Structure 1
Amino acid sequence: MTIRLRTAITEVGPGVAELLEGGVLILFAEGAPPELAEMSILHAVVEGPTADAPPVGAELKIGPVSTIVTALGDAAWKKVADIGHVVINFDGEETAGRPGEICAAPVNAGELAAALKSGAEIVISD
């Protein structure tokens, strides 16, 4: 198994729950501007990201919630590496609608919301 990214949640913005209702989760590295942090999960990288992006079918685990990556936008992994930012859309699409987006299979929004706590890990591996 290759760990492509392992990061720890440091803060959950107050607007995250609203975005989760629409199946969207935004990650930003610590230090994001306040207006972006409000709608984001702030995180501190523990391991990675690897030079190579994860393949379709890689596991995306957020705390105990697990799903698979179904698509990656052309710029998504570069943004993860450069600024710790990515939009995860739990829509199961096979083609990302935006270049900075990772698509993943749908998950239970309530379970995901419960998993989003400071200290919880987000891991992408294959």
Structure 2
Amino acid sequence: MQTLYETNIQQIGSSAADFLSEGMFILFGENAPAELSDFCLLISINKVNGSIEAGDILSLNGKEYSITAVGEAVKKNLEALGHITLKFDGSDVPELPGSLYLEKAELTLPKADSKIQIVKRGE
């Protein structure tokens, strides 16, 4: 199984849970602007090893989710800022360039130090 991306959640913003009802999390590197950090899962910025594609798997908080669509800026934004939106709505067409779309799911707020991993399906 090829690991495309791996990081740890360093901190949970005080208002990150506000987006649970919308089925989304906002990721941002530790350098997130103060006005945004309260709404984000703050992560370590790491390199993406390959192309993230629909059908790949995102693991968060020990659960696996199928990636349904990938915005065109996801790789660049992850590597530069650690900033993307995870949308758990099952969309198969990426509406926003900085969003990673995943299967529709009930979400719970992860804990600090949880691992986020993206792997190629079936490898």
TM over 0.5, shorter chain: yes
Q: Which structure 2 residue ranges, 5 or more long, are not aligned?
A: none
**Other-structure match for 1:48:** 47
Select which of 94, 118, 121 maps to 2:115: 121
Aligned CA-pair RMSD: 1.2
Please list the CA deviations of residues 61-93 of structure 1 after superposition, one character each: whole Å capped at 9, or x if unmatched: 102121111001111111111111111110000
Retained in 1: the 8 A contact 2:23–2:106? Answer: no
* CA distance in structure 2 between the partners assigned to 1:48 and 1:80 by the alignment: 8
**Other-structure match for 1:64:** 62
- SS for the counterpart of 2:44 is strand
- After TM superposition, the runs of 4+ consecutive aligned structure 1 residues lying more than 4 A away are none
Per-residue deviation, 1:48: 3.4
* CA distance in structure 2 between the partners assigned to 1:108 and 1:66 by the alignment: 12
**Other-structure match for 1:11:** 11
User: Paired residues, what number?
Assistant: 120
- SS for the counterpart of 2:80 is helix
Please list the CA deviations of residues 97-122 of structure 1 after superposition, one character each: whole Å capped at 9, or x if unmatched: 1111110001222xx32xx1111100
**Other-structure match for 2:104:** 106
Retained in 2: the 8 A contact 1:3–1:48? Answer: no
Per-residue deviation, 1:53: 2.2
**Other-structure match for 1:92:** 90
What TM-score do you get using the length of structure 2 for normalisation? Answer: 0.91
1:71-86 counterparts in 2 under 5 A? 71-86=69-84
Percent identity of equivalent pairs: 28
